[in-house]
Amino acid sequence: MKHRTMSLAAALLFAVSPALAAAEDARTGATVAAGAPSAPRPNEIHVVNVAEKTVDALPAQPLFWRVETLPTLAEAQAAAGSLALAAEVSGRAWLFTLGPAGGATPGARKVAEIGPVPVVRAPKYLLRINHAAGPPGAMTPVHTHAGAEAFYVLAGQLSQKTPHGTARLDAGQSMNGHEPGMVMQLTSSGTTDLDQLVMFVVDAGKPFSSPASFN
């Protein structure tokens, strides 16, 4: 299965299908088709968009991202409900479910429950899962998102800089990233390559990612 690959500047941006799907590049306005990799940018974290879907409404707050693994991608896809996304990342089949705390999927192993997700108000919502990676020192441009995101680190160390300071996550740790519109920059801050999952709930009608500044 091919996945859409682009820099985090473009992408920090339904399981991926062979059909072409466009992703907005926040800096150039260009689009990248599914399966068409962009040219690497030096010293920048890169992303694969592994799953996404648009939904008309969300259930009552508070909501949490439940991160689980299953034996196969087919089982994860079969178990995915209307607010769940299945993907294969780093050799494992994952199921990401947005819902109330304390839920469980039969046959799945719960890895993390992240929340409560900051409230996002929109006519339609985009749920998206990204797989981000980069060597030590790699970072993203300063940017914002039209919604909220959460992180789970598979390997290495992630640092997130915001106007409130810098938070660091090591392998096996998770974090709610920010409320909608938070200015941020992410860095692979460990001594080994960063490997992480990023879960988004954003306004589907707005640009996914926008350049920003701490000034």
Task: Give the Cα separation of 170 and 159 in Å (integer).
Answer: 9
Q: Above 80 in pLDDT, residue 9?
A: no
Cα distances (Å, whole numbers) of residue 139 to 71, 83, 211:
32, 30, 14
- DSSP codes joined into one string, 77-139: HHH--TTEEEEEETTEEEEEEEESTT---TT-EEEEEE-PPPP---SSEEEEEEEEEE-TT-B
DSSP at 40: P
Q: What is the pLDDT of residues 181-206, one digit of tens each?
A: 999 999 999 999 999 999 999 999 99
pLDDT given for residue 178 in this prediction: 79
Q: What is the pLDDT of residues 87-114, one digit of tens each?
A: 999 999 999 999 999 999 999 999 999 9
Task: Give the pLDDT confidence score for residue 14 in this predicted structure.
Answer: 31
More confident residue, 4 or 120: 120
Give per-residue pLDDT as tens, 149-190: 999 999 999 999 999 999 999 999 999 877 899 999 999 999
3-state class of 201 per DSSP? strand
C-alpha distances out from residue 156 to 56, 57, 137, 163, 169, Å:
36, 35, 11, 24, 9
Find the radius of gyration of the CA atoms of the chain.
16
pLDDT at 5: 39
Residues 4/13, Cβ–Cβ less than 8 Å: no
Which residue in 147, 142, 156 sits closest to 190, CA to CA? Answer: 156
* SS3 state of residue 10: helix
CA distance 38 to 2: 14
**CATH top-level class for 4-35+51-211?**
mainly beta
Q: Where are the domains of the chain?
A: 4-35+51-211
Summarised one tens digit per residue, pLDDT across range 22-54 is 333 333 232 233 333 444 466 889 888 999 999
Q: Could you tell me the two tokens for 43? A: 């010293």
